[in-house]
């Protein structure tokens, strides 16, 4: 047998083995979680919020659950801020975590009676596992508790 005729099948066999064992080893990496859509928020009573948790993420896929709900506060300025401005510049004044949260699409009641802040603006953000904040809710006015 000539050496050149043996080299071709051996090279093909070696390439096949390398191709079969090529790739990432270990556990698969889970896909990154998408942020939740904005929660629906309304004032249920004086200093009480009714928060309806989102059912979809920003990609339109069903939302399995929410890890936390955060209420952010921003003091009054010259104009009404956008939800993104309150989210980026505001401070977290209330946080509710699992297991005290209902499922997606259900309503959560949050009491802000103990919040002693001057007049300003508030938004609510649903946070998924991995500390992935969702879109902020619509901006709601916060009245001075001294009134």
CATH of the domain at 51: 2.60.40
- Residue 139 tokens read as 């901006």
Specify the number of domains making up the chain. 1
**Domain around 75:** 40-142
Confidence at residue 77, expressed as pLDDT on a 0 to 100 scale: 83
Summarised one tens digit per residue, pLDDT across range 58-116 is 988 888 878 999 999 999 887 899 999 999 999 999 999 998 899 999 999 999 999 88
Residue among 80, 76, 74, 60 nearest 125 (CA): 74
Residue 103, in any domain of the structure: yes
pTM of the entire predicted model = 0.76
- Return the percent helix, strand and coil in the chain, to nearest 5: 15, 35, 50
Is the residue at 95 inside a domain? yes
Question: In this structure, is residue 135 part of a structural domain?
Answer: yes
In angstroms, what is the C-alpha Rg of the chain? 26
Write down the residue that tokens 């992935």 correspond to: 132
Number of neighbouring beta carbons within 10 Å of residue 71: 24
């Amino acid at each position: 047998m000539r050496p050149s005729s043996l080299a071709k099948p051996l090279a093909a066999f070696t390439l096949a083995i390398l191709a079969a064992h090529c790739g990432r080893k270990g556990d698969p990496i889970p896909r990154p979680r998408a942020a939740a859509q904005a929660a629906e928020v309304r004032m249920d009573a004086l200093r009480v919020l009714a928060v309806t948790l989102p059912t979809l993420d920003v990609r339109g896929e069903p939302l399995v659950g929410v890890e936390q709900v955060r209420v952010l506060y921003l003091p009054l300025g010259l104009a009404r801020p956008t939800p993104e401005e309150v989210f980026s510049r505001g401070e977290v004044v209330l946080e509710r975590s699992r297991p005290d949260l209902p499922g997606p699409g259900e309503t959560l009641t949050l009491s802000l009676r103990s919040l002693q802040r001057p007049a300003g603006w508030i938004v609510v953000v649903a946070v998924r596992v991995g500390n992935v904040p969702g879109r902020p809710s619509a901006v709601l006015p916060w009245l001075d508790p001294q009134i």
